[in-house]
Amino acid sequence: MPWEAIKYVGSGLTLAAFIVAAIAWLLKSKSEERERLINLAKDDERAGLVRDALEFFSVDTAGLTKAQQYQLALEQIRERAQRFKIVAVVVCIIAVLGAAIAAYALARSSGQQKNDKEAAAKEAQALMDDARSQFNAGDYAEAWKTVERATALNPNPEAARDARTDIAMTWVGAWHGTSQAAFDLLHYQLTSCLEQAAARATGVRAADIHAHLGWANFMARMDGLPVEEEFKKAVAIDKANPFAHSMWGYWLITQSHPKEGKLHFESAFKSGREKEFVRELQLDVCMRYIDPENSLELILVLDDMRKKGETRTLDARRRLFSFAYANPEPEFLQRFKTILPIADHLATFQWLTDGFGTQEETTKNFELAELTEASGDNAKALRLYRELLAEDLKTSFLDEVKNGIKRTKGGAGREISETMTVIAQAKSGDADTRAKLIRSLTRADINVAEALPALVSWVQDPDDEVRAAACETLVQFGRASISPVIPLLSSREPREVMNAAAILEKIRLEPKLAVPALIKALEFPDADVRGRVVEALAIFGPHAEPAVVSLIQTLTNSVQTDLQKQIIYALGEIGPNAKDAVPQLIEFVESSKDSYGFLNANAADALGKIGRGAVAAVPALIAALKSEDARLPTRSAEALGNIGADAQAAIPALIEAMRSEEKEHQDNYAEPLGKIAEALANSGDISALPALKKAMESLEEANMEPKYITPVREAIDALKEKEARSKSK
């Protein structure tokens, strides 16, 4: 029966096939029933049934006998029944196939859905792993977003809520890493999350959530939000909750209840949980404001950290030092030595400042000196105070250091003078300490005469830093150092002669004592030493005139270009009194020894500084105007201008050089023309008028500024006036 196929109906297609098969089967059954009725009918009734059957099949039976009509009706009924049977069977087969296909499709669809669900679950888990990594890295904003994406893919309310709650608590706890503006925007999201979590949680987790909720409300800085109430709820659930106690303590301190706040921090540490979080919060509140009270409290915290073996990076310790010690106000200085037992304080101070460089050295050494003095070690404290005198101290700081010296000096059992005390200390120890003590001699109340012999001996010290400190201090002592230093110029040690020359150069006093000694030092065989001595002579300028002969001799005998340049510069600094060196200087203007041209240019400079006494150099300087060197023409032009009236012959050459020069450099020749014109006007040399008129015309043609034309015009006017007066006589 086709009804048995109904169990295979699984879709619209199979249902339609089932209906068609059922109708076909019914028609087949009806045809068979008609055949049976014809066979069973009586003869008088059979004719009507046969006629009805043939009419149903639309068969023309005219001319057929009854027997033939009967036989034909049966054949038609049997064929029709057979057709219905075939149709029913075919349709049932199609229905079964459709059912099978539908079942396969349903099974495949179910499998795909299962695979999609598994893929979504895997992707969601990967996102949760990413969120965990972001959370661990401190990127709470991205972690929050990632959890939301994971929830959208594979909703797991329990895991997602827990993850969001953890992020919210940590994010709120790390508020100092988020800008206030960003925190304000996030506040409602975070507090909403925490409020929902608090309603679900129990036990320690509920206490943690209430603590963070109170902290978030505190950070929001909005009136009416429950802060202390949330901390109380947390402690009611978990009596020793470290989050609640540390956050509560922080809040109390900011509300001007430091004692109560400190007790809560102590309770937080006693819990044994979240020690690092509690410590960071405690340090943060101590560094919230820089004032003596917070600095002193921070010192107590640092002492506790040291005793518990906690460590901090060098940068972190520098920051802690800047809040604890780097602002020594009078109130702080009066109290900080008694805030802890002195042995503990010294140990904590050294633990904190271990590895510090020069960045915090002044403040560190001052407070170390104060603590050392408080420990009773006056000798060591005195040494530290003295080292500080070499630093660039503020007046108030300097007064404290000097007072410390007075106190420790009186208690150190020393009867020798202040000077000898410092000198004795500076004779031993590391180079850095010795150098500081030596430099402190310029700031301390000492006897200069007592210090000079030691300082001169330290100029010969093997350590560079000690020698430098001694030289600087001798320079600071000025005139008093000259006589003790001069004997060093006779040393056979190049370094000592060079240091002595440098000291005299920087002092720049007593040329009558210094110059003769420096002249003698020019005999030193080493060229570098002689160069250093020449530089010292140059600084005395005209007062070094006695050295001209020796300088000329050294210049003539020297082959080192650098030394020759130094000597030429020194002769120029001596000025007109070095006119005896003009022949040698002319040779160097014309020399091609120095391919870079510095030697020629320096010689031209020196001739210009000698001025009128260098008139013999005018031809050489005129020739140098045509040099292809970048410096020599302009230096020669300047020298000709300084020589003045005696350089009248150079006017045509200067005009030519100006015309051939680029516009922006023509003033290098126009200005010397003006100087020569002024000198000629002052000398009253009427014969110079034609040359000056040509210079005037050239300057105007070149469209030079009035400041270059005016001197020449005024010189022409003055000479014309003199000429007119002469003719009138």
pLDDT digits (tens, 9 = 90+) for 273-326: 999 999 999 999 998 877 888 899 999 999 999 999 999 999 999 999 989 987
Indicate the SS3 state at residue 428: coil
Q: What is the DSSP-derived secondary structure letter of residue 613? A: G
Q: Contact at 8 Å (CB) between 212 and 172?
A: yes
Q: How confident is the model at residue 103 (pLDDT cuts 50, 70, 90)?
A: low
pLDDT band, residue 44 (cuts 50/70/90):
low
Is there a contact between 355 and 314 (Cβ–Cβ < 8 Å)?
yes
- Choose between 234 and 597: higher pLDDT: 234
Selected residue with higher pLDDT from 427 and 187: 427
Burial class, 516, CB count within 10 angstroms (exposed 0-12 / middle 13-18 / buried 19+): middle
Look at residues 253, 243, 255 and name the one whose alpha carbon lies nearest to residue 216: 243
DSSP letter for 287, please.
T
Q: How far is CA 54 from CA 23, 38, 51, 66, 82, in A?
A: 22, 12, 5, 12, 17
Tell me the mean pLDDT in the region 665-676: 93
Where do the domains of the chain lie, and which CATH numbers do they carry?
A: 2-129 (no CATH), 156-286 (1.25.40)
Question: Measuring CA to CA, how many Å separate 2 from each of 82, 87, 256, 651?
Answer: 16, 12, 93, 135
For residue 591, the 8-state DSSP code is -
Nearest CA among 475, 479, 469, 465 for reference residue 439:
469
Looking at residue 362, what is its pLDDT?
82
- pLDDT tens, residue by residue, 537-580: 999 999 999 999 999 999 999 889 999 999 999 999 999 999 99
- Taking only the tens place, the pLDDT of each residue in 331-356 is 888 888 889 999 999 999 999 999 88
| DSSP string for residues in 236-252 | HHSTT-HHHHHHHHHHH
pLDDT at 129: 77
Confidence bin at 122 (pLDDT 50/70/90) = confident
In tens, the pLDDT along 365-387 reads: 888 999 999 998 988 898 888 88
* Spatial distance between the Cα atoms of 699 and 667, rounded to a whole number of angstroms: 10
Report the chain's mean pLDDT, rounded to a whole number: 83
pLDDT band at residue 652 using 50, 70 and 90 as cut-offs: very high
User: Tens digit of pLDDT for each residue in 59-98?
Assistant: 455 556 666 655 655 566 566 556 656 766 666 677 677 6
Distances (CA, A) of 37 to 23, 25, 42, 46, 75: 21, 18, 10, 9, 14
For the chain, the straight-line distance linking the first and the last C-alpha, in angstroms and rounded, comes to 164
Better-predicted residue by pLDDT, 12 or 469: 469
On the question of pLDDT at 52 being above 60, the answer is no
Residues 282 and 263: their CA atoms lie apart, in Å, by 12
- Write out the E strands in 32-79: none
pLDDT digits (tens, 9 = 90+) for 401-454: 888 888 887 655 555 678 888 888 898 888 988 998 899 888 767 889 999 999
Question: What b/e readout covers 692-718, taking b as 16+ CB neighbours within 10 angstroms?
Answer: beebbebbeebebeeebbebbbebbeb
SS3 of residue 467 by DSSP = helix
DSSP 479-500: HHHHHHHGGGGG-S-HHHHHHH
Question: Which is higher by pLDDT, 537 or 157?
Answer: 537
Q: In 271-394, which ranges are continuous DSSP H helix? A: 275-286, 292-307, 314-324, 330-335, 342-353, 361-374, 378-388
Mean of the pLDDT values across residues 530-536? 96
Counting every residue written for the chain, the total comes to: 729
For the beta carbon of residue 219, count every other beta carbon within 10 angstroms: 22
Query: What pLDDT is recorded for position 55?
Result: 46
The pLDDT value recorded for residue 320 is 93
Lowest mean pLDDT among 129-133, 210-214, 477-481, 517-521: 129-133
Token pair listed for 456: 């001169």
Contacts with 628 (C-beta within 8 Å, 6 or more apart), sequence order = none
Q: What confidence category does residue 54 fall into, taking pLDDT thresholds of 50, 70 and 90? A: very low
pTM greater than 0.75: no
Sign (positive or negative) of CA dihedral 50, 52, 58, 60: positive
Q: Is the pLDDT score of 623 beyond 70? A: yes
C-alpha dihedral sign at 433, 435, 441, 442: negative
